[in-house]
Amino acid sequence: MRATISGALLLVVSLGVAGLRSAGGNVTGTVTHPSATTFPTLVYVEGASAGKFTPPAAHAVIDQKGKLFLPHVLPVLAGTTVDFLNGDDFEHSVFSPDGEKYDLGKWSKGQKRSYAFTRAGVYTQLCNLHPEMIGYVVVLGTPYFALADQQGRFQIQGVPAGSWTLKVWNERLRPNQLQKAFQVAVAEGQNAKVDVAF
Amino acid sequence: MSSRIAERVAVISTTLGVCGAVFLPFVYEARAASAPFPIARTVTLTAVASTGTWTEQDVNGWNYWTRDFPAARPVLPLGETTLLRLKSSDVTHSLYIPDLGVGPVTVQPGHVVEVAVRPMTEGVFEYYCTTVCGHPHWGMRGEVAVQPAGTQAVPVQPRSIVKYWLEPPPPQDAGPVGRGKWLFRQQGCFLCHGPEGQGGVVNRNYVKDTIPPLNLAERMMLFESEDVNAILDHMKRGTRLEALADAPPVPRFNVFLAQYHSVEDVIRNGSVAGKKDPKGPEPPLKMPAWGQQLSNADIDAIVAYLLTLQPSK
Amino acid sequence: MPSPANARTQPDASDAQAASVQGTAARGPARTPASGAVTPERHGWRLDLFQYSPIFKWIAQRRSFQFALVFPNLLIILMFLVAGVFGSPVGNRNILIIFIWILWWFLLISVMVPFASRIWCIVCPFPFFGEWLQRRALIDVRFLDPKREKKGTDGVVIGRNRYFGLNRRWPKALSNIWIQNLFFLALCTFSALFLTRPIVSVVVLGSLFAAATVFHVIYRQRAFCSYVCPVSGFLSLYSMTSMVEVRARDAEVCAKCTDKGCLAGSENGWGCPWFMYPSKMVRNNYCGLCMECVKACPYDNMTVNLRPFCSDRTLKGYDEVWKAFIMLSLAVTYSVLYLGPWGVLKDWANAPQSGKWAGFFAYAATLWISALVLIPAVYCGAVWLGKALAGRRDMPLKDGVLALAYPIVPLGLLAWVAFSLPLILVNGSYILMTLSDPFGWGWNLFGTADLAWTPVVPHWAPYIQAVFLLVAFYWALKTGYDQAERLFGGGWAAAKGFAPVSVLLGLCVISLLVLYVG
């Protein structure tokens, strides 16, 4: 719950910043792939043609409750700090073997540890004590991203006008599928629709 | 006294003495056992480590070695007090019936521990042993049925456990998967995790209710069978997986490796079973630490075997 | 009770009321015939216990003496066997295991043998039924008066007693303790099996019980006890150190005696069932202290003496020498196995449970080869070397070995005591527990069933053990040197002759000390 709220907040703020630049539109579509209906799927705009984006001041949150990372996938803009909580009555740990690698150690209920994600990339979140716990923090270069719903439908809001490359990420896509780029052109003040099919 | 009388006395006292020595203990025991209890109903449960059962049958020095004791399924009357007389026939055991608030009661061999139970809810409840008593320990559980007094006990198929722990070790060329399979059974892992790692055993007040399936391949990011086989090939050849970091055989090899180490750590060091209700009872089943009993090669073998189970979608 | 009607007592040299203490000077070089055979001589003082305590004498002369002692023991062992079958399978909760392998064993080796010789043999219940069948009497004597009865009727006549059963002679070739040597070694090899499992103990003890009965029906007198029983094997050897003996009081009386009641039996007593000739007996080895000779002697010339430790010094055959080697090897092996830090050895010894049969065969093979071949070979080599150093290459090796193997007897005995001591200190509390709950059925007869396991001063055990080992070393050296003097003459020859053996004894003691004290 908290995670979803902060995620939404993040999105709104980042879009607000981006919106100052040029009025754009929403990019909507559907991801057609068997894994999109089973695993949280992220659709994002790759790179940025102009300038950097200011990361939000508010921290994003991932909780660990019932031996699960909540949310299972957290997309953030590069530069965001993520707070890792512990909502269970026993210890958890968080570490990631991806990118620059980090290990936040172990902590108990009520405590939290934070980490600032500066580099773009996919960071697998693992708990050393409970190998069945897997989560992801996907650090992106732009704030233009959205998680698809259970049917694979997504809506990226406030994408500035221009020609963009869309990419898809979920935990089951193979490397060649992750590389696949989808072109979308956003006209001023207009919404664009794109079919993401593999 | 003439020698004749002395001789007669000797013969008579020998005859009486021999009969007495043999039969007196049973007479005394029968008297002691039939002494009236303030509680009308007693159920005697004896723990047997070699079969991993709490049994209602009588266990003695002779049949302990020969009989295959079935797990007890006592039927207790609803709302009435029953006295449980708990005995152990070999090592220290414990009886834990979390739903009836019994225990864990530790039972030392040679002592009889008496516990009075007055169950107020009807149903079928699991009992467990919570003191490690041998390889079959993890299967040392069964059911207690609580029914209104006087009703017929519902006939139930006795749960049979295959004594996998008695299997002989596999031949040398079976490789790590064959050895891992044998270890998984011999050490009793299958008793909680299921013979195919499917889990499903009820663990009272555990955060996930039942023991989850061991889908290790999925957790280690080996989503396709070709990924699993690539790893298994290396394990069969005895390659150190850490050394493959420069030429990873599977995608996201770094995550795989991190998970592999975490899994091995859990097997080595054990894991506490998280409570679903923090104020509730301690879950009776938890992952024990195997580091003292299994070498690193053994743990690798078990992981290799588990990778072949539960193929991911 | 019939008293010796025609007892003719020769006047004693000493006053009947005063205790008589006879001392003989046994120091100095003895006669050494060309063969080098050691003459058995009396060492040290003797205290005639029958004169010291007339009550003791009176008791020993009762016909019901043996029965009164065996009967309670018989009932106890029967109850123990019942406990083994029907009682708890847990070793430390079963009176059979605790009272026999811990209490009885400790008392036997530490108290009964050093102080009272083969006293266990009087109270032993195993031959009870066999002897009853043989004698057809529990208390009576079946006396065949040659003047009144014809021979050859009803039963077999041996001397002047009548026996039933087949009464065959024991084969001459087996009239030694080799069967007992190997039997005891076999039992000890498998000891891990029965020491902890009541039912296996029942099988072992029950078989001995049954075998004793059967042998008594087939063979004469105490053939089983003399030649088969594994306990008898080591009792025979270690009773040589004992402080009690049954001997003829006055040799002159025996020389003039034509009755020979001690051997042939009389109306008052059975002839010695242990195949001994009591009046000529000079060693404790095969005397079971049954006191039949005391009753049968027409001149009341048999008595019980108190004497110094290690008074019998003569080993009479390789079977006895090898017994000494076997017992010492077992003491060392058991110390390593049960008190040592190498747990894997226990797994090997406990093969039926651990499944490690390869290790078991390794352990068994090592044990048998050390006991029967290696240690004797090394020891005999040391004896040979000593003989050479003392300039007596002419002496047959057998004489040297028979004499110089003696020190292992007190060494072995005290090493066994040292080994058994921590067992009783650590497990002794189980004795009180099983006394109250012998079957593990939940009884509490004396209120001690719930005693927690309490090891008694376990941290002192190594030091007490060390003391025993040092005492053992003292006695080994003392008796060994005496034997060497006897063999080689006094002075330097004895010292040189004994030196290699004394080095071996020292090494043995040091390794045991290291094992026990660390």
Note whether C82 contacts B111, CB cutoff 8 Å.
Answer: no
Q: Which of B13, B28, B64 sits opposite C89 (nearest CB)?
A: B64
Report pLDDT digits (tens) over C373-393.
988 999 999 999 988 888 888
Share the mean pLDDT of chain B: 84
Note whether B219 contacts A67, CB cutoff 8 Å.
Answer: no
Q: Are C416 and C512 contacting, i.e. CB atoms less than 8 angstroms apart?
A: no
* % of chain C residues with pLDDT over 70: 86
Q: Which of C71, C75, C90 sits opposite B110 (nearest CB)?
A: C90
* Burial class (CB within 10 angstroms; exposed 0-12, middle 13-18, buried 19+) of C375: buried
In this prediction, residue A10 carries a pLDDT of 57
In this prediction, residue A7 carries a pLDDT of 57
Structural domain including B94 reads: 41-147
From the list B53, B38, B135, the residue with the least C-alpha distance to B87 is: B53
In the predicted structure, residue C344 carries a pLDDT above the cut 90: no
Neighbouring-strand partners of residue A137: A74, A123
In the predicted structure, residue C329 carries a pLDDT above the cut 50: yes
In this prediction, residue B156 carries a pLDDT of 67
In this prediction, residue C14 carries a pLDDT of 31
Q: Residue A2 and residue B171: Cα distance in Å, rounded?
A: 55
Q: What is the mean pLDDT of residues A77-105?
A: 90
Asked whether residue A44 is assigned to any structural domain, the reply reads yes
In this prediction, residue A37 carries a pLDDT of 84
From the list C418, C78, C348, C84, the residue with the least C-alpha distance to C191 is: C348
In the predicted structure, residue C4 carries a pLDDT above the cut 60: no
Q: Residue A3 and residue B250: Cα distance in Å, rounded?
A: 32
Do B191 and B259 sit in the same domain of this protein? yes
In this prediction, residue C354 carries a pLDDT of 63
Res. A3 pLDDT band, cuts 50 70 90: low
- Would the pTM of this model clear 0.80, i.e. be above it? no
Do C450 and C357 sit in the same domain of this protein? yes
Q: Residue C333 and residue B8: Cα distance in Å, rounded?
A: 49
In this prediction, residue C152 carries a pLDDT of 54
Reduce the DSSP state of residue C270 to 3 states and report it.
coil
Do B91 and B219 sit in the same domain of this protein? no
Q: What is the mean pLDDT of residues C451-457?
A: 73
Res. B37 pLDDT band, cuts 50 70 90: low
Report pLDDT digits (tens) over B220-230.
888 888 888 88
In this prediction, residue B246 carries a pLDDT of 83
Q: How far is B20 from chain C (nearest CA, A)?
A: 8
Note whether B29 contacts C441, CB cutoff 8 Å.
Answer: yes
In the predicted structure, residue C226 carries a pLDDT above the cut 80: yes
Res. C515 pLDDT band, cuts 50 70 90: confident
In this prediction, residue A12 carries a pLDDT of 54
In this prediction, residue B311 carries a pLDDT of 57
| Polymer length in residues for chain B | 313
Q: What is the mean pLDDT of residues C475-504?
A: 88
Q: Which of C306, C333, C348 is the last residue in one of the domains? A: C306
Share the mean pLDDT of chain C: 83
Q: What is the mean pLDDT of residues A36-43?
A: 88
Do A94 and A158 sit in the same domain of this protein? no
Q: With touching defined as 3+ CB pairs under 8 A, do chains C and B touch?
A: yes
Asked whether residue B123 is assigned to any structural domain, the reply reads yes
Q: Are C517 and C459 contacting, i.e. CB atoms less than 8 angstroms apart?
A: no
Do A115 and A172 sit in the same domain of this protein? no
Q: Which two tokens stand for residue C458?
A: 């376990």
Torsion sign, CA atoms C420, C421, C422, C424: positive
Residues 6+ apart with CB under 8 A from C318: C398, C401
Neighbours of chain B (3+ CB pairs under 8 A): A, C
Res. C133 pLDDT band, cuts 50 70 90: very high
Residues 6+ apart with CB under 8 A from B229: none
In this prediction, residue A94 carries a pLDDT of 93
What CATH number does residue B278 fall under?
1.10.760
Res. B39 pLDDT band, cuts 50 70 90: low
In the predicted structure, residue C287 carries a pLDDT above the cut 90: yes
Q: Which of B121, B147, B173 is the last residue in one of the domains? A: B147
Do B169 and B294 sit in the same domain of this protein? yes
Q: Chain-centre distance of CA B194, in angstroms?
A: 13
In this prediction, residue C60 carries a pLDDT of 92
**More confidently predicted of C208 and C362:** C208
Strands A112-116 and C244-248 come out as: unpaired
Q: Are A122 and A138 contacting, i.e. CB atoms less than 8 angstroms apart?
A: yes
Count of structural domains within chain C: 2
| DSSP letter assigned to residue C40 | P
In the predicted structure, residue C5 carries a pLDDT above the cut 50: no
Q: What is the mean pLDDT of residues B157-176?
A: 76
Do B107 and B195 sit in the same domain of this protein? no
Structural domain including C83 reads: 42-306
Do A129 and A171 sit in the same domain of this protein? no
Range among B214-228, C9-23, C211-225 with highest mean pLDDT value? C211-225
Per-residue H/E/C for chain A: CHHHHHHHHHHHHHHHHHHCCCCCEEEEEEEECHHHHCCCCEEEECCCCCCCCCCCCCCEEEEEECCEEECCEEEEECCCEEEEECCCCCCEEEEECCCCCEEEEEECCCCEEEEECCCCEEEEEECCCCCCCEEEEEEECCCCEEECCCCCEEEEEEECCEEEEEEEECCCCCHHHHHCCEEEEECCCCCEEEEEEC
In the predicted structure, residue B44 carries a pLDDT above the cut 60: yes
Asked whether residue B105 is assigned to any structural domain, the reply reads yes
Res. A46 pLDDT band, cuts 50 70 90: confident
What CATH number does residue A102 fall under?
2.60.40.420
Asked whether residue C15 is assigned to any structural domain, the reply reads no
Res. C15 pLDDT band, cuts 50 70 90: very low
Do C346 and C197 sit in the same domain of this protein? no
In this prediction, residue C28 carries a pLDDT of 29
Q: What is the mean pLDDT of residues C496-507?
A: 89
* % of chain C residues with pLDDT over 90: 40
Contact residues, chain C, for B22 at CB < 8 Å: 78-79, 82
Q: Chain-centre distance of CA C228, in angstroms?
A: 13
Q: Which of B208, B218, B255, B310 to mutate to test the interface with A (most CBs of A within 10 A)?
A: B255
What CATH number does residue A40 fall under?
2.60.40.1120
Do B111 and B211 sit in the same domain of this protein? no
Q: Is C439 on the interface with B (CB under 8 A)?
A: yes
Q: How far is B163 from chain A (nearest CA, A)?
A: 29
**More confidently predicted of A183 and C351:** A183
Asked whether residue C473 is assigned to any structural domain, the reply reads yes
Asked whether residue B4 is assigned to any structural domain, the reply reads no
In this prediction, residue C93 carries a pLDDT of 81
Q: Residue B231 and residue B220: Cα distance in Å, rounded?
A: 11
Asked whether residue C281 is assigned to any structural domain, the reply reads yes
In this prediction, residue B48 carries a pLDDT of 87
In this prediction, residue C210 carries a pLDDT of 95
Do C326 and C380 sit in the same domain of this protein? yes
Q: Which two tokens stand for residue B204?
A: 């009272």
In the predicted structure, residue A198 carries a pLDDT above the cut 80: no
Neighbours of chain C (3+ CB pairs under 8 A): B
Q: Which of B90, B113, B147 is the last residue in one of the domains? A: B147
In this prediction, residue C442 carries a pLDDT of 74
Report pLDDT digits (tens) over B259-299.
999 899 999 998 888 888 888 878 888 888 888 888 888 89
In this prediction, residue C141 carries a pLDDT of 87
A124-128, B33-37, B55-59: least confident range: B33-37
Q: Residue C483 and residue C312: Cα distance in Å, rounded?
A: 11
Do C106 and C150 sit in the same domain of this protein? yes
The 10 Å Cβ neighbour count of residue C444 is 12
Reduce the DSSP state of residue B34 to 3 states and report it.
coil
Q: Are A96 and A76 contacting, i.e. CB atoms less than 8 angstroms apart?
A: no
In this prediction, residue C9 carries a pLDDT of 37
Q: Which of C90, C129, C432 to mutate to test the interface with B (most CBs of B within 10 A)?
A: C90
From the list B270, B261, B260, B269, the residue with the least C-alpha distance to B307 is: B260
Residues 6+ apart with CB under 8 A from B86: B44, B45, B46, B47, B95, B105, B107, B112, B113, B114, B115
**More confidently predicted of A175 and C133:** C133
In the predicted structure, residue C253 carries a pLDDT above the cut 70: yes
Distances (CA, A) of C445 to C283, C435, C438: 44, 8, 9
**More confidently predicted of C474 and B140:** C474
Half-sphere exposure of B132 (CA within 13 A, CB side): 10
Asked whether residue A118 is assigned to any structural domain, the reply reads yes
In this prediction, residue C290 carries a pLDDT of 92
* CB-defined contacts A:B, below 8 A: 46
In this prediction, residue B125 carries a pLDDT of 87
In this prediction, residue B35 carries a pLDDT of 55
Res. C351 pLDDT band, cuts 50 70 90: low
Q: Residue B269 and residue B273: Cα distance in Å, rounded?
A: 13
Do C393 and C290 sit in the same domain of this protein? no
Q: What is the mean pLDDT of residues C412-435?
A: 86
In the predicted structure, residue C331 carries a pLDDT above the cut 90: no
Do C215 and C76 sit in the same domain of this protein? yes
Count of structural domains within chain B: 2
The 10 Å Cβ neighbour count of residue C235 is 27
Find the closest chain A residue to B219 by CA distance. A132
Asked whether residue C19 is assigned to any structural domain, the reply reads no
Res. C155 pLDDT band, cuts 50 70 90: low
Res. B36 pLDDT band, cuts 50 70 90: low
Q: Which of A126, A172, A175 sits opposite B223 (nearest CB)?
A: A172
Q: Which of A140, A161, A177 is the last residue in one of the domains? A: A140
In this prediction, residue C453 carries a pLDDT of 72
Q: Residue B231 and residue B201: Cα distance in Å, rounded?
A: 30
Asked whether residue C128 is assigned to any structural domain, the reply reads yes
In this prediction, residue C376 carries a pLDDT of 92
Contact residues, chain B, for A132 at CB < 8 Å: 212, 219
Q: Are A174 and A61 contacting, i.e. CB atoms less than 8 angstroms apart?
A: no
Res. C182 pLDDT band, cuts 50 70 90: very high
Q: Which of C306, C341, C375 is the last residue in one of the domains? A: C306
Asked whether residue B283 is assigned to any structural domain, the reply reads yes
Asked whether residue B154 is assigned to any structural domain, the reply reads no
Q: What is the mean pLDDT of residues C31-60?
A: 69
Structural domain including A64 reads: 54-140
Half-sphere exposure of C235 (CA within 13 A, CB side): 27
What CATH number does residue B135 fall under?
2.60.40.420
φ, ψ (nearest 5 deg) of residue C402: -60, -35
